[in-house]
Structure 1
Amino acid sequence: MSELSPETPVLLIVEDDEAFARTLGRSFERRGYRVLHAPGYEEAAKVLDEHDPGYAVVDLKLKGNSSGLNCVQLLHAHDPEMLIVVLTGFASIGTAVEAIKLGACQYLAKPSNTDDIEAAFGHVAGNADIEVTNRSTSIKTLEWEHIHAVLAETDFNISEAARRLGMHRRTLARKLEKQRVK
């Protein structure tokens, strides 16, 4: 492998799915990035002790129902200029808003590929010309958004979220499985 220059962009992938992280990492390495990997919050904190990545891709839902939002907050506190993209199979308006508030530059629903992520790194400014739809929000969408807001508040603890929502844990688990973004 060729020697990396000091100008080589450094990317941290915070993802607990080892196979996905490895595939994504290889794809970014082919594009000239130096790739670091952390499966969760603690490991990301350790990486930041030794490295200063300029870019990060963070999965929203990490092992043990941990929230990637905590990682976004950690990364942004480490370097407010770091470009952070949140990837999720559990997209919601609530978690998207929180991710941006905590320092992410973009929020992408899975499946997203390297092209999508790299484009997100380059698209950090807002776009006032984005089309506004006339479609009203459905009851199912509102329910889904509320569920996700409660999940985010509880760091994706399904039992606690179900308690706060006043439903059985298995009912919430079934709803989440039905609504999963593939």
Structure 2
Amino acid sequence: MMSLPNLLLVDDDVVFCQVLANAMQKRGFDVTTANSVAQAKILLDEGLLPDYAVVDLSMPGGASGLVLVELLHGFSAEMRIVVLTGYASVATAIEAIKLGATHYLAKPANADEIMKAFGKASGDADAGVSDQRVSVRRLEWEHIQKVLADCDGNISAAARELGMHRRTLQRKLAKRPVKN
């Protein structure tokens, strides 16, 4: 009997993780879940080598999902890795792809969108280009995300780089990103 492809699903939202795991099992995957980067690392240390991975970007415990993307890509360059986040930014998308992610999706994304992302082997030259300018609030969000990524997720260091109080930066990060 042919074995099912292995999928590692890492998201700190336990309910979302279980719902997505069930949906991916129905699509033919053997799913293993983790709710933090640390839990995922333990699974990898125990010998799990997934064929596919869905990794949330914003994780508890200080380490972002980008750390896990880099680690997973180091285990297998052929692994299909999709980064899923509620805090999408150009800076984190670029870093995720550089570190080995196959695709980057903003939440909410469903199982069908994730399946489609797994199948993407290259970019899409026909992707639509918006003629709408980005707002100042969105540019601020993007800049904050870039500085935070440059500081390896360290909020205190990012706040110093941005010339703002750490609590002010935390308040800005707690807000949902502006769409445009």
TM-score for both structures, normalised by structure 2: 0.90
How far residue 106 of structure 1 moved from its aligned partner, in angstroms, is: 0.6
What's the C-alpha RMSD, in Å, of the aligned pairs? 1.9
How far residue 6 of structure 1 moved from its aligned partner, in angstroms, is: 4.0
The SS at the match of 2:77 is coil
Q: Please list the CA deviations of residues 130-150 of structure 1 after superposition, one character each: whole Å capped at 9, or x if unmatched.
A: 122223333222211110011
Count of residues paired in the alignment: 178
2: CA distance, partners of 1:111 / 1:81: 26
From 49, 62, 65, give the equivalent of 1:65.
62
CA 1:150/1:103 → structure 2, altered by over 3 Å: closer, same or farther? Answer: same
From 118, 126, 130, give the equivalent of 1:129.
126
> Structure 2: which amino acid aligns with 1:152?
A
The SS at the match of 2:142 is helix
From 60, 73, 77, give the equivalent of 1:76.
73
The farther-off stretch of 141-150 and 14-23 is 14-23
- Equivalent in the alignment of 1:105: 102
- Equivalent in the alignment of 2:37: 41
1: CA distance, partners of 2:7 / 2:137: 37
2: CA distance, partners of 1:42 / 1:169: 25
- Equivalent in the alignment of 2:18: 22
Contact 2:10 2:35 in 1 (8 A): yes
1: CA distance, partners of 2:140 / 2:178: 16
The SS at the match of 2:175 is helix
2: CA distance, partners of 1:45 / 1:37: 12
> Structure 1: which amino acid aligns with 2:154?
N
Contact 1:76 1:103 in 2 (8 A): yes
How far residue 26 of structure 1 moved from its aligned partner, in angstroms, is: 1.3
For structure 2, the residue ranges without an aligned partner over 5 or more in a row are: none
2: CA distance, partners of 1:41 / 1:131: 34
- Equivalent in the alignment of 1:171: 168
How far residue 27 of structure 1 moved from its aligned partner, in angstroms, is: 1.3
CA 1:122/1:149 → structure 2, altered by over 3 Å: closer, same or farther? Answer: same
For structure 1, the residue ranges without an aligned partner over 5 or more in a row are: none
Contact 1:90 1:181 in 2 (8 A): no
From 151, 161, 179, give the equivalent of 2:158.
161
Contact 1:109 1:181 in 2 (8 A): no
The SS at the match of 2:130 is coil
How far residue 51 of structure 1 moved from its aligned partner, in angstroms, is: 2.2
Identity percentage over the alignment?
Answer: 53
How far residue 152 of structure 1 moved from its aligned partner, in angstroms, is: 1.5
The SS at the match of 1:51 is coil
How far residue 173 of structure 1 moved from its aligned partner, in angstroms, is: 2.2
